[in-house]
């Protein structure tokens, strides 16, 4: 046995069986590999406008305090968020991205012998967080339109279930659960179950049927809503997200949280970005236009798209996606393969600027004639 296997064998069973999250390919990596310069990255649902200018300025200013530990309670950001969301500050838990919050939830409520339920095609972090907690995850088959099937999810709940994860909208499919559907689900979920509604794309979601779950926290005390500054606010690199829940849940999450899980520039940037209405409006408008541009362009190539209310689009290629992904890389365009979701004939593309979308569509047209 080599050293790698020997040491690997020392880890607990759950960790041994984990496969790490596969992030989008970094621009620098493709530059190193192919010596390309003009690279377009539409692989991680990042904001094509860059960071919120108010957020960036606040982060730069805050760096002067980089020798200090951050406020471990995030008082300023929580107070600002509480006013913005019209919820009590005690109901907010801050995280190093909302990914951190999802892991806190798994650590607080799961253990060996306990279970969680999520949908087929749901965000890859849920199974990872469940498995890292050595709990059992159950996958409910998705609907034919790739969306969550809440009835199928309900049917998988047992007395050992502690968590249900609902991505609204879901990544990578862009599908969402409507307000009435979600409310009906919450009202029949058994009492031992916490429901996590992951709203990472809340600020982009524009549909009358899309619910604002925060308004339901008083009726459903076992609901956790997670959101992030990574997507519409353009602060993915700073890592700040949050959960809103009953204060009793926030209290539990705070017990497993690292004392200083959000850094000084991230706290300052997030707080300032909340005031950046102009940036948010611009981001939404650019996304709306880009979504139309991409959808029409992809359909004009004879390919399928799944209707999305996020800032990304699932493209059905009707042929193996791996070769198309690789060929797009050689054209300097990075998108996201989703074979790890069981979608081997799809790619996920982030809505970029008009120019980036154009580059992607042109590259895709070129590539499709060769594969
Ligand atoms: C991007 C994303 C997140 C988390 O992003 P953070 O950067 O950790 O806040 C959470 N859920 C979904 C569905 C996402 O796509």
117-131 pLDDT, tens digit each? 999 999 999 999 999
pLDDT band at 219 (very low <50, low <70, confident <90, very high): very high
CA 368 to ligand 1 center in whole angstroms: 30
CA distance 101 to 272: 21
CA 1 to ligand 1 center in whole angstroms: 38
Residue nearest to atom 10 of ligand 1 (CA): 200
Looking from the CA of residue 96, the nearest atom of ligand 1 is 8
pLDDT exceeds cutoff 90 at 20: no
Over residues 42-67, the mean pLDDT reads 98
Which residues have CB under 6 Å of ligand 1? Answer: 45, 97-99, 123, 167, 171, 198, 200, 228, 230, 236, 241
Residue nearest to atom 14 of ligand 1 (CA): 200
CA distance 251 to 105: 11
CA distance 256 to 349: 35
Report the mean per-residue pLDDT for the chain. 96
Integer angstrom CA distances of residue 126 from 75, 115, 139, 358: 28, 12, 10, 33
Looking from the CA of residue 228, the nearest atom of ligand 1 is 9
Predicted model pTM: 0.96
CA-nearest of 121, 5, 74, 3 to 239 is 74
State residue 36's pLDDT score.
Answer: 79
CA 250 to ligand 1 center in whole angstroms: 19
Instruction: Return the number of other C-beta atoms located less than 10 Å from residue 108's C-beta.
Output: 21
């Amino acid at each position: 046995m080599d050293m790698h296997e020997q040491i690997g064998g020392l880890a607990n069973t759950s960790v041994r069986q984990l496969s790490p999250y596969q992030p989008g390919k970094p621009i620098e990596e493709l530059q190193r590999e192919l010596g390309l310069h003009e690279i377009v990255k539409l692989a991680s649902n990042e904001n094509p406008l860059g960071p919120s200018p108010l957020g960036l300025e606040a982060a730069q200013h805050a760096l002067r305090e980089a020798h200090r530990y951050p406020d471990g309670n995030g008082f300023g950001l929580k107070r600002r968020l509480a006013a913005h969301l019209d919820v009590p500050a005690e109901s907010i838990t801050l995280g190093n991205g909302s990914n951190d919050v999802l892991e806190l939830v798994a650590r607080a409520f799961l253990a060996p012998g306990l279970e969680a339920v999520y949908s087929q095609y749901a965000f890859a972090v849920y199974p990872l967080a469940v498995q890292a907690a050595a709990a059992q995850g159950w996958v409910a088959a998705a609907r034919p339109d790739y969306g969550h099937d809440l009835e199928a999810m309900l049917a998988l709940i047992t007395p050992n279930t502690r968590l249900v994860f609902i991505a609204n909208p879901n990544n990578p499919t862009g599908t969402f659960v409507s307000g009435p559907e979600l409310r009906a689900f919450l009202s029949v979920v058994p009492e031992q179950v916490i429901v996590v509604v992951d709203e990472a794309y809340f600020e982009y979601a524009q549909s009358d049927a899309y619910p604002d779950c925060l308004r339901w926290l008083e009726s459903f005390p076992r609901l956790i809503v997670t959101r992030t500054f990574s997507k519409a606010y353009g602060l993915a690199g700073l890592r700040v997200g949050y959960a809103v829940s009953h204060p009793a849940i926030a209290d539990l999450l705070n017990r497993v949280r690292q004392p200083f899980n959000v850094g000084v520039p991230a706290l300052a940037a997030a707080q300032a970005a909340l005031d950046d209405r102009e940036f948010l409006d611009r981001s939404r408008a650019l996304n709306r236009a880009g979504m139309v541009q991409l959808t029409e362009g992809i359909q004009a190539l004879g390919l399928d798209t799944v209707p999305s209310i996020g800032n990304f689009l699932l493209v059905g290629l009707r042929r193996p996606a791996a070769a198309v992904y690789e060929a797009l890389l050689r054209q300097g365009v990075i998108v996201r393969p989703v074979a790890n979701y069981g979608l081997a004939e799809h790619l996920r593309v982030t809505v970029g600027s008009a120019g980036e979308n154009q580059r992607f569509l042109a590259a895709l047209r070129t590539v499709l004639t060769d594969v």
